[in-house]
């Protein structure tokens, strides 16, 4: 009976060791993912945040591929990661045609300075509003947030130009 107990205990230690080892392979984890709608400048973007769980080597980069809501090739960014960062923010280029309640794919790869993949992550981002709520033109221009004369006309009328130019799905 004692031998059986020792064998069970040994197996539990081996399994616990494996579990810790796989957790240590996790360098970062996704802690946030949203769409940012900046109505002032009429731009929408993805924003994905990562939390660092283990040290990253100098020269590491994050390569993120964001599904293009308008169709076509994914939007790709390459973000250098600084060792002092505890949080990593990845923001896409401006996007168009985000639809409410539709999940959009995001893939992230961490690469070291030699090009070796350190970790890969996949997530989805879903909006609770449709991008059609955004104006078609920026509401403001310039560093002082001056009203855009193309939107706010001199005769007092307003043209938000919110015509839907997205493909119908």
Residue extents of the structural domains in the chain: 26-133, 135-164
pTM: 0.79
Does 10 have pLDDT greater than 60? no
Q: Kindly indicate the confidence band of residue 164, based on its pLDDT and cuts at 50, 70 and 90.
A: low
Beta bridge partners of 14: none
pLDDT in the model for residue 106: 98
Which CATH architecture group holds 26-133?
Sandwich (2.60)
Average pLDDT over residues 2-24: 43
What H or E segment, with its residue span, contains residue 45? strand 43-52
| DSSP reduced 3-state for 58 | coil
Measured at the CA of 146, the angle between CA 143 and CA 147, to 5 degrees, comes to 145
- Predicted local confidence at residue 162, as pLDDT: 67
Average model confidence (pLDDT) for the chain? 85
Strands of the sheet containing 28-38, edge to edge, are: 28-38, 43-52, 87-91
Give me the pLDDT at residue 169, please: 57
Question: How much is the pLDDT for 16?
Answer: 42
For residue 9, pLDDT over 90 is answered with: no
pLDDT per position as a tens digit, 42-55: 999 999 999 999 99
Residue 12, pLDDT > 70, answer: no
pLDDT digits (tens, 9 = 90+) for 102-156: 999 999 999 999 999 999 999 999 999 998 888 988 999 998 889 999 999 999 9
Q: What is the mean predicted confidence (pLDDT) over 65-94?
A: 95
What DSSP state is assigned to residue 13? H
């Amino acid at each position: 009976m004692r031998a059986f107990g020792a064998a069970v205990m040994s197996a539990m230690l081996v399994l616990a060791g494996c579990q810790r080892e796989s957790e240590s392979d996790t360098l970062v984890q996704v802690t946030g993912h949203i769409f940012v709608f900046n109505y002032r400048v009429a731009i929408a973007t993805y924003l994905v945040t990562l939390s660092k769980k283990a040290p990253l080597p100098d020269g590491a980069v994050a390569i993120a591929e964001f599904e293009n809501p308008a169709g076509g090739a994914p939007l790709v960014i390459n973000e250098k990661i600084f060792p002092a960062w505890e949080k990593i923010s990845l923001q896409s280029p401006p996007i168009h045609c985000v639809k409410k309640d539709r999940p959009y794919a995001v893939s992230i790869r961490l690469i070291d300075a030699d090009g070796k993949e350190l970790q890969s992550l996949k997530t989805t981002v879903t909006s609770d509003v449709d991008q059609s709520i955004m104006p078609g033109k920026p509401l403001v221009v310039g560093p002082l947030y001056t009203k855009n004369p193309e939107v706010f006309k001199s005769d007092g009328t307003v043209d938000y130009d919110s015509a839907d130019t997205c493909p119908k799905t």
